[in-house]
Chains A and B, each alone.
Chain A
């Protein structure tokens, strides 16, 4: 019996044969929000950071995306605390203004830190993004952050495995975001609970690394511990372009043909269309040419009331007030190119306020070199500095109560982008099209 990609990485990182399993961590990414209490815990117990050389920090959740000082005193205190902690414990920090800062899941791959076969953790649920490179990457809580800082290991129960195959070719105008939203709609927000998902199939193999990162990013929205894709030539080309020497053993990092998974799911990629969420969980999703469905549970009834939507309303008749293009799901260069291609030559609807927040300082620089910033600003978009921004609204970028937003982010929970705000998750091209039309449109119908 063969073994899965997950099992190969898992077993290579067990420090011994004892129970409970102790998993060695190759890369620990740290940000300002989930780390202060962990560092304080180390100090109180007189413990050190075991491997500062395997620990990298950045500032992303709290940072304002407009130039100037951090005005919020609590945010400033949290950012300064991270800087102090990194200095005290000898950890490399890519601080705001360093030119290498950005959303932690965008800069890891950019800096060549994210590599096949690694175990990667971070105090952030979207750490699953890094699995796109054939790494085992997952989010942890603050106590576990402290545990990894102190021991470079995690006590972890072995998850189950799921293979999610996208069969067939993706139709034109349909993106990685639509693939993952469609899959979540199919298996549900707890469909992957307790599992590591390996994404496979021709439609996954055809994706760029940016697309694979989008898919793996939202594994947590299906409840999964992690998502991963076996590394291939696409992976190796990305790594080389980011200064990483490709190791021969990475070519062995794939599930054996006879490997058994605890569960198997198949999604037909050929029938996918652009997706738009209508509710307050990522599984409450509909095709853009569909309608808001009849609610089938108390949660769906509550969601419709919160979203102020009626069953039977065509998705394309839903008007938006705000558009947010950003987040660790969809703020890499390819995402900005896709949005700019839709925007070019048009104006943002007068009823809409739209913003683009690049995923990192490097993405921002590259977009500006390509002239994408001018495409956006000439169309009436705000062009901001890198950060998590309105994906979770910890910084000043938030929705006002009742505002409706087409967002390229990952969560449409109640109040996620601001108390009372209403979020619809879409791909970058769909968000750009909504900005111009003032409502959802099928991006495939645009010239």
Chain B
């Protein structure tokens, strides 16, 4: 997993609540046994609509997505996080994420950053005037070139995973003696 220290990029805005993972990547693409290449299927049905937000030319190449509450609800399919990452996103800003999606995103190297609605509204406004943001995981803040700075708090373990691109399994295997002792205790 590639480390994610700081991203400066233009921003795509998808201002919808409760975006479910069925929309992010529909079921017909879950038959693949590969982990890569899902970007082509991102929002597959919504992309057919010429007015769909992510088709706007000014959002092309955006690595930051600003979206609505409860993003990634529904199915546990990690393919949703893979599709967003493969499409080019590295950071998601939303009032909240569904629990399983949040975890899947971190393990995909995609930062799910939760911000209160007023802070997001301010960022959306700033971006509408000048479309660029920096999301700095080291400083735990979002910055707009015109001076707006919004701090955020990521779960410390998730932040470390993202900052250093760590392998979760290797970290847990360092606690193998504790796992073995637990198994022995329980018989």
Q: Given the interface contacts A193-B98, A415-B26, does A141 sit within 8 Å of B35 by beta carbon?
A: no
Q: Given the interface contacts A20-B157, A34-B76, A190-B73, does A74 sit within 8 Å of B32 by beta carbon?
A: yes
Whether A34 contacts B78 by the Cβ 8 Å rule is: yes
Q: Given the interface contacts A78-B33, A153-B179, A394-B30, does A223 sit within 8 Å of B98 by beta carbon?
A: yes
Q: Find residues 138-197 in chain A having any chain B CB closer than 8 Å to their own CB.
A: 139-144, 146-147, 150-153, 155, 157, 159, 189-190, 193-194
CB distance from A33 to the nearest CB of B (A): 5
Whether A394 contacts B27 by the Cβ 8 Å rule is: yes
For the complex, is B169 an interface residue (Cβ under 8 Å from A)?
yes
Bound-state Cα–Cα, A123 to B34, Å? 16
A-B contact count (CB 8 A): 157
- List residues of chain B with CB within 8 A of the CB of A393: 27
Bound-state Cα–Cα, A231 to B94, Å? 38
- List residues of chain A with CB within 8 A of the CB of B77: 33-34, 141
Bound-state Cα–Cα, A374 to B22, Å? 35
Size range of the interface on B? 35 or more
For the complex, is B23 an interface residue (Cβ under 8 Å from A)?
yes
- List residues of chain A with CB within 8 A of the CB of B51: none
For the complex, is B117 an interface residue (Cβ under 8 Å from A)?
no
Of B31, B34, B35, chain A has the most CB atoms within 10 Å of the CB of: B31
- List residues of chain B with CB within 8 A of the CB of A40: 33, 35
CB < 8 Å: which of B18, B26, B155 contacts A189?
B18
Whether A15 contacts B18 by the Cβ 8 Å rule is: no
Q: How many residues of A contact B (CB 8 A)?
A: 62
Whether A124 contacts B76 by the Cβ 8 Å rule is: yes
Whether B22 contacts A411 by the Cβ 8 Å rule is: yes
Whether A223 contacts B100 by the Cβ 8 Å rule is: no
Whether A299 contacts B100 by the Cβ 8 Å rule is: no
Binary A-proximity of B40-80 (CB < 8 A = 1, otherwise 0): 00000100000000000000000000000110011111110
Binary A-proximity of B157-187 (CB < 8 A = 1, otherwise 0): 1000000000111011101101101110000
Q: Given the interface contacts A155-B172, A394-B28, does A144 sit within 8 Å of B69 by beta carbon?
A: no
- List residues of chain B with CB within 8 A of the CB of A125: 74-76, 100
| CB nearest neighbor in B for A420 | B45
- List residues of chain A with CB within 8 A of the CB of B17: 297, 299
For the complex, is A414 an interface residue (Cβ under 8 Å from B)?
yes
Binary A-proximity of B94-120 (CB < 8 A = 1, otherwise 0): 001011100110011000000000000
Q: Given the interface contacts A15-B178, A18-B175, A414-B45, does A281 sit within 8 Å of B78 by beta carbon?
A: no
- List residues of chain B with CB within 8 A of the CB of A416: 22
For the complex, is A341 an interface residue (Cβ under 8 Å from B)?
no
Whether B18 contacts A190 by the Cβ 8 Å rule is: yes
- List residues of chain A with CB within 8 A of the CB of B175: 15-16, 18, 22
For the complex, is A314 an interface residue (Cβ under 8 Å from B)?
no
CB < 8 Å: which of B30, B70, B74, B99 contacts A225?
B99
For the complex, is B16 an interface residue (Cβ under 8 Å from A)?
yes
For the complex, is A45 an interface residue (Cβ under 8 Å from B)?
yes
Whether B34 contacts A37 by the Cβ 8 Å rule is: yes
Bound-state Cα–Cα, A78 to B171, Å? 30
For the complex, is A24 an interface residue (Cβ under 8 Å from B)?
yes
For the complex, is A298 an interface residue (Cβ under 8 Å from B)?
yes
Q: Given the interface contacts A15-B178, A16-B175, A193-B96, does A151 sit within 8 Å of B169 by beta carbon?
A: yes
Whether B168 contacts A413 by the Cβ 8 Å rule is: no
Bound-state Cα–Cα, A22 to B16, Å? 34
Bound-state Cα–Cα, A392 to B155, Å? 32
- List residues of chain A with CB within 8 A of the CB of B18: 189-190, 281, 299
| CB nearest neighbor in B for A298 | B16
Binary B-proximity of A413-427 (CB < 8 A = 1, otherwise 0): 111100100000000
CB < 8 Å: which of B30, B32, B76, B172 contacts A22?
B172
Whether A81 contacts B107 by the Cβ 8 Å rule is: no
A-B CB proximity, top 9 nearest: A143-B107, A141-B104, A141-B78, A36-B33, A74-B31, A16-B178, A15-B182, A190-B70, A139-B76
What are 21 A-B pairs with beta-carbon distances under 8 A? A15-B182, A16-B175, A24-B183, A33-B30, A34-B77, A78-B31, A81-B33, A125-B100, A139-B100, A140-B100, A142-B79, A143-B104, A152-B183, A155-B157, A155-B172, A189-B18, A392-B75, A411-B20, A411-B74, A411-B75, A416-B22
Given contacts A151-B172, A193-B96, A413-B23, list 10 more A-B pairs with CB under 8 A.
A18-B178, A24-B183, A74-B31, A142-B35, A142-B78, A143-B108, A193-B99, A281-B18, A415-B45, A416-B22
